[in-house]
Chains A and B, each alone.
Chain A
Amino acid sequence: SQTIHQWPATLVQPVGSPLSLECTVEGTSNPNLYWYRQAAGRGLQLLFYSVGIGQISSEVPQNLSASRPQDRQFILSSKKLLLSDSGFYLCAWGQGGEQYFGPGTRLTVT
């Protein structure tokens, strides 16, 4: 069966510090991968998606970036965090139209 992992589960980082969130998927190959953000009191917003290794599409301009170094690994990064980067970050994988979400990372930028 397929599983999706995200870490860390929670993170508190100061403004201006770097960020690296990791997502890995098991039990499937060549999935579409997604990064979403849910800011406090707001709905989910698609940040990045990837249809294959090294293929990243960005949905919104921001100071975040994503990379897919391996088929089942998706990384969300920032060189310098902003206060507005605080939120709940969800990774998801998809095939055949369905999407399956990871447990999420709650990021607080102080």
Chain B
Amino acid sequence: KNEVEQSPQNLTAQEGEFITINCSYSVGISALHWLQQHPGGGIVSLFMLSSGKKKHGRLIATINIQEKHSSLHITASHPRDSAVYICAVRDRAAGNKLTFGGGTRVLVKP
């Protein structure tokens, strides 16, 4: 079993729909990251959070430390949101190195 599991693996939405991506992890963490990888491969860090909730524009990230679960929400989705979204955790027992989920490929159709 992977230490970081994401669901779904693939997601297709119509423009304007609300999107949720889930991330579950099995290790003790010091922080969780949400990353966005565009088709060209470049990666952008969206959020780093260790508790509660963060919001940036139409993106919202939440984390429940007790349940070892995080969600990334995209409100009013747009075709430019099409990308792979990656969850990564900083493993406290592994020197705070990042362990990555397999990613969720999101396609938003106009």
Which of B33, B43, B45 has the most CB atoms of chain A within a 10 A radius of its CB?
A: B43
Give chain A residues whose Cβ lies under 8 Å from the Cβ of B35: 101
Q: Is the interface of A mostly helix, strand, loop or mixed?
A: strand
Interface size classification for chain A: 10 to 19
| Any B CB within 8 A of the CB of A59 | yes
Quick one: CB contact mask for A88-110 with B, threshold 8 Å, 1 for yes?
10100000011111011010000
Contact (A46, B103) CB under 8 Å given A98-B48, A99-B45? no
Quick one: CB contact mask for B72-109 with A, threshold 8 Å, 1 for yes?
00000000000000101010000011101111000000
Q: Is the interface of B mostly helix, strand, loop or mixed?
A: strand
| Any B CB within 8 A of the CB of A44 | yes
Contact (A103, B48) CB under 8 Å given A42-B102, A43-B102, A44-B88? no
B positions within 8 Å CB-CB of A:
30-31, 33, 35, 41-45, 48, 86, 88, 90, 96-98, 100-103
